[in-house]
Copies of this chain bind each other. A is one copy, B any other.
C-alpha cells in the first residue's frame, strides 16, 4: 500500500497509531521562506485536542507538536519539515477485550482482511487520532495560504436533526460552544440531543460546512485533478465522512438549468461576479473567483456502549459493548480536520497552477 502520502507538490506523509509511541507528518514541498514556529501549528492542534469538553473523549493528550527538521532561524528551508506529536495517555489494555472482535461500523474486519492481522489498540492506524498529523500539516499549508490572502473557515452546520439557522449565523460564535456551531441557539439544542444520546450510550452524526475566501479564478486542473474532485477526495479521506457536496450539491439534481446556472456580471472595476453561488465557487473543476463552499456528512461515532451483534476473529457470533473513551459526535472535532485537508489540497493546486502558462514560467526564470 502507499496510501499515507498525499499531494503533488506540497506532499505530506503521515504516520502513527492511536496507541503507538507517537504520530507525525513529513511535509516535502513547502516553499522556503515561510515563517513557522511550533506555536503556529499548536493553535490548530488545540482545536482538535481531546478532552476539552464532556462531549469529547476524556483521553488526556496535550498534543504538543515538535518541529524536528525543515525550519532554520524561524523560516522553512524548502526541505522536509518533520513534525511529531508524542502520545501520552495510551491505555492500551482498554482494548484487550476487543482485540479479537470486529467492531460494527469500524474498519476492523477490513483491516484484518487486508493485512492478516491488525494493531487493535484504539483502532491503530484507522483511529480518528490519525488526523492529528493532518491538522499539523494543514496548519503549515494555512500559513502559506495566509501569505496569499486565502482564508479557510469550517463549522458544524448540523448535528443530528439540529441545523443552524443562518439568521442567527455568527462565525465568532463557533468557538463559544463545544460543537463549533456559529449559532448559539442551535448549539443549545444540540446539547440536549447529545445528553439524550449519551444517556442511551449512543452517538450522533452531523454535517460540516467549509468556506474558502480569497481564491482567485483559475485554480484547479480541468480533468481528473479538478479543484472539487481533489477536495472531495481530501475530505472523504477523513474517517466517518460518508458524503460531500459542493455549492447547491445534491439539491442541484432537482433544479432546472435556468435556476442552477449562476449568471455573471461585471462590476464597475470590471471584475467578474456571479448573481448567485450555486456553483460553490467551482465550475468545470476550476475556481470561478467566488467563495468556495462545500459540505461533508459525518456518520455518528461507531464506538458506542450499547450492545451490538458482531463476530469474533475466531469464528463466533458474539455481542459487544464498546467501552473506552469515545466522542459521542465526530463532526465537531473534525471541523479543523476539514480545514486542514482543504488547506493542503488547495495550496497544492495553487502551486501546480504556477506552471500553467509559459508567460509565468518565462517571467519567473528571467527574474532568477
Complex interface: stretch among A26-34, A43-51, A170-178, A184-192: A26-34
Residues in A331-368 with C-beta less than 8 Å from chain B: 331, 350-362, 364-366, 368
Inter-chain contact B218/A114, CB cutoff 8 Å? yes
| CA–CA, A114 and B348, complex, Å | 15
Task: Report whether A224 and B4 are in contact in the complex, using a CB–CB cutoff of 8 Å.
Answer: yes
Instruction: Give, as a whole number of angstroms, the nearest-CB distance from A353 to chain B.
Output: 7
Question: Contact at B158–A253, with CB atoms within 8 Å?
Answer: yes
Say whether B355 contacts A224, CB under 8 Å. no
Q: Is the CB of B350 within 8 A of A361?
A: yes
**Known contacts A13-B5, A15-B26, A357-B78; is-contact A109 B217 (Cβ 8 Å):** yes
A63 at the interface (CB under 8 A from B): no
- Is A285's CB under 8 angstroms from B124's CB? no
Chain A 176-202 interface mask (CB, 8 Å, partner B; 1/0) = 000000000000000000000100101
Question: Can you name 6 A-B residue pairings with CB atoms under 8 Å?
Answer: A2-B28, A3-B352, A105-B283, A107-B222, A265-B317, A360-B364
Q: Which residues of B contact A297 (CB under 8 A)?
A: 245, 249-250, 252-253
Q: A32-B116, A102-B264, A242-B245 are in contact. List 13 more A-B contacts (CB 8 A).
A: A15-B81, A116-B357, A148-B361, A224-B234, A232-B236, A239-B285, A242-B249, A257-B302, A278-B299, A350-B365, A354-B354, A354-B364, A364-B364
Residues A237 and B226 in contact, CB atoms below 8 Å apart: yes
Residues of A211-269 at the interface with B, using a CB-CB cut-off of 8 Å, are: 216-226, 228-230, 232-237, 239, 242-250, 252-266
Distance between A85 CB and nearest chain B CB, rounded to angstroms: 11
Q: Please state the number of chain copies in the assembly.
A: 4
Contact B236 A242 (CB under 8 A): no
* Residue A113 lies at the interface, judged by CB distance under 8 Å to chain B: yes
A265 to chain B: which residues have CB within 8 Å? Answer: 309-311, 317
Give the size range of A's interface with the partner: 35 or more
Pick the residue among B3, B81, B206 that contacts A222 (CB under 8 A).
Answer: B3
B264 engages A224 (CB within 8 Å): no
Name the contact of A11 in the complex, choosing from B2, B32, B102 (C-beta under 8 A).
B2
Q: How far is the CB of A279 from chain B (nearest CB, A)?
A: 7
- Given A80-B15, A107-B222, A257-B202; A354-B362 close (CB under 8 Å): no
- Across the interface, name the chain B residue whose C-beta is closest to A208: B253
> In the complex, which residues 273-331 of chain A have their Cβ closer than 8 Å to any Cβ of chain B?
275, 278-280, 283-289, 297-304, 306, 308-311, 315-317, 331
A66 contacts which chain B residues (CB < 8 A)?
Answer: 21
Please tell me if the beta carbons of B34 and A358 are within 8 angstroms of each other in the complex. yes
Q: Is the CB of B254 within 8 A of A160?
A: yes
